[in-house]
Amino acid sequence: GGATGPADGAKRVDGGTIEYAHQQEPACVFGGWIEQAYLSYQVLDNLTSLDEDGTPVPWLAEEWSASDDGLTWTFTLKEGVEFTDGSPLTAEAVAYNFDHWLGGGNSTAQVWLDGYYESAEAVDDQTLVVNLSAPYPRLADNLTQSYFAIQSQEALETRTAEENCEAPIGTGAFVVEEWNRGENIVLTRNDDYTSWPANAKHEGPANVERINWRFVADGTTRTSALRADEVDALYDVPAIEWEGLDTAGFDLAKYVTPGRPQQLSFDTVEGPFVDENVRKAFAYSLDRETLVETIGKGVIPFEGNGGVSQSTPGYSQKAADAYSYDIDKANELLDTAGWTETDADGYRTKDGETLDVTLPYGAGSIINAEGASILQGVQEQAKEAGFKVELIPVPQSEFFAGAYSTPEERDISAGYWTAVTAGILHINWRQNLPDSPNYNNDAFYNDPVLEDLILAANSEADLDAQNALYAEAQEYIADHALSIGLYDRLSSLAVSPYLKDVWQENAQGGPVFHDAYFVE
């Protein structure tokens, strides 16, 4: 099936319902997971929005500035904005949201602000002051992520957790009409919408009346439904379907999420990877690029950088190019590291112990089917150098229950973390110390040098200087082979040619339906 597209200058129709097929169904509309961010973007607005070029532009905040010491931020809010429960958007309400996030209302917002945030106060109805304990010049950039979306204070205070989970009250373009668990969420237009971001493609309430946000876990089913005209747009185009959809005339959009790419972090405190040479040998043993290109069908981009993805400001190409396939080097390094013997199956051994490394991964949640194929390729390639990689697909529940979270349990950890700045490095590489634990440090790598580098970058006000510092941190990670990149995480969309102006917001690549309209 699938239409080749409408005639040029086709007539625009008002209203209508967008049938949208999304992959995963989160537990709540608002929360700390990207799947929730995609949904809350439709319903809630943020203070700032990220523009195409990576600069924050006004949204609920008309303007903002930081004090010279970088510790005090002042946001001026748009006037006349109302939450969909009728309560007005005030500085006080926004301040309440900040405290709400930090108090457990949003775990992701919390890790970003932790260590920097002091307090938020309303100076008057329209003016909000945020006090920081250390300078954080990219605060406005970070506030573009939907984890920092603003909800009605009244709703947060008076409604039940269930209500706020299922249908949070924001100022957004849509409101949650109903949620049929396991099937769909129906979002209806907020006819009184006034607070579109500065980078919106049109002004005024949404063009379409309704979004039927359906949950269709299977990629093939989503694609086929699009071809059969059962849906107008879908999220996460399987790589294998990309070309076909393109030829059939569908509009495809691909967004490489900034932040941490899909990468492998080595366990630096326990097991063979404590030895830097072994880490490097592993990196050299892989032909990551060919692997990703083949399985990703040229759609999934290869990513050599273990720190941040290529779409992240301050990305270091040098770090990305640090290792390429070189089996001789790999063998040499392993010999140096003392893994000189080889057993009957071709695996290296040292003192009778096999070079056995464990690679657990969140199957179906963190790593999708294509990612799993790539990991199998990694396993097979590393075998050539004599690594025995044990792949352990961990189901979501076990993974979330903290299985394989300790150095004893794993040697390599795979995963990503979306962000809008290289500030993600701070979350991933801050030291894990007894009095300030950092369980997000997957390499268990406690290095004050690296941490200081990142902290300096975080607080550096000059953009170029900051990027240089971030790049330095990435190169540090590459030099010590703490983590190597595999591929970039994508947010991709396929849209019917009869649906126009669907775009991907620039913070996380989620679909924006506010501007979308149908043509005949």
- Interface with another protein in residues 179-208 (CB under 8 A): 180-184
In whole angstroms, how far apart are CA 265 and each of 229, 442, 486?
A: 42, 6, 11
Would you say 66 and 137 are in contact if contact means Cβ atoms under 8 Å apart? yes
CB nearer to another protein: pick between 19 and 460: 19
Minimal distance in Å, beta carbon 222 to another protein?
A: 8
| # of chain residues touching another protein (CB under 8 A) | 79
Q: Binding of another protein at residue 362 (CB under 8 A)?
A: yes
In whole angstroms, how far apart are CA 451 and each of 111, 430, 447?
A: 16, 5, 6
CB nearer to another protein: pick between 79 and 229: 229
**Which of these ranges, 7-15, 185-193, 290-298, 482-490, lies near another protein under the rule CB under 8 A?**
290-298
Q: Binding of another protein at residue 395 (CB under 8 A)?
A: yes
Q: What is the H or E stretch that residue 454 is in? A: helix 448-459
Would you say 416 and 445 are in contact if contact means Cβ atoms under 8 Å apart? no
Q: Binding of another protein at residue 142 (CB under 8 A)?
A: no
Q: Binding of another protein at residue 370 (CB under 8 A)?
A: yes
Work out which of 3, 198, 217, 461 binds another protein, going by CB under 8 A.
217
The conformation of residue 104, written as its DSSP 8-state character, comes to I
Amino acid found at 391: L
Number of helices (H), then strands (E), in the chain: 17, 26
Three-state DSSP class for 249?
A: coil
> Tokens standing for 401?
């229950």
Minimal distance in Å, beta carbon 100 to another protein?
A: 14
Work out which of 198, 228, 433, 465 binds another protein, going by CB under 8 A.
228
Minimal distance in Å, beta carbon 515 to another protein?
A: 25
- Return the residue matching tokens 């006080």: 92
Minimal distance in Å, beta carbon 302 to another protein?
A: 13
**Residues of span 309-338 touching another protein by CB under 8 A:** none
Work out which of 7, 160, 448, 520 binds another protein, going by CB under 8 A.
160
Q: What is the H or E stretch that residue 254 is in? A: strand 251-256
CB nearer to another protein: pick between 59 and 112: 112
**Which of these ranges, 168-176, 359-367, 444-452, 475-483, lies near another protein under the rule CB under 8 A?**
359-367
In whole angstroms, how far apart are CA 291 and each of 7, 377, 392?
A: 40, 7, 20
Q: Mark residues 460-499: x for contact with another protein by CB under 8 A, - for none.
A: ----------------------------------------
**Residues of span 253-282 touching another protein by CB under 8 A:** none
**Which of these ranges, 135-143, 149-157, 396-404, 443-451, lies near another protein under the rule CB under 8 A?**
396-404
> Tokens standing for 140?
């406005």
Cα distance between residue 17 and residue 245, in whole Å: 22
**Dihedral sign (CA 431, 437, 440, 443):** positive
Q: Give rounded-to-5 percent helix, strand, coil for the chain.
A: 30, 25, 45
**Residues of span 371-390 touching another protein by CB under 8 A:** 372-373, 376-377, 379-381
CB nearer to another protein: pick between 34 and 175: 34
Three-state DSSP class for 375?
A: helix
Cα distance between residue 333 and residue 281, in whole Å: 6
Cα distance between residue 129 and residue 139, in whole Å: 13
CB nearer to another protein: pick between 174 and 404: 404
**Residues of span 75-134 touching another protein by CB under 8 A:** 104, 107-108
**Which of these ranges, 127-135, 192-200, 286-294, 312-320, lies near another protein under the rule CB under 8 A?**
286-294
Work out which of 118, 124, 218, 479 binds another protein, going by CB under 8 A.
218
**Which of these ranges, 5-13, 64-72, 160-168, 445-453, lies near another protein under the rule CB under 8 A?**
160-168
CB nearer to another protein: pick between 128 and 231: 231
Give one DSSP letter per residue of 130-167, joined into a string: EEESS--TTHHHHTTSGGG-B--HHHHHHS-HHHHHHS
In whole angstroms, how far apart are CA 452 and each of 426, 430, 474, 476?
A: 10, 9, 13, 12
**Residues of span 7-46 touching another protein by CB under 8 A:** 21, 25-28, 31-36
CB nearer to another protein: pick between 13 and 228: 228
Work out which of 119, 324, 396, 465 binds another protein, going by CB under 8 A.
396
**Which of these ranges, 53-61, 225-233, 336-344, 350-358, lies near another protein under the rule CB under 8 A?**
225-233
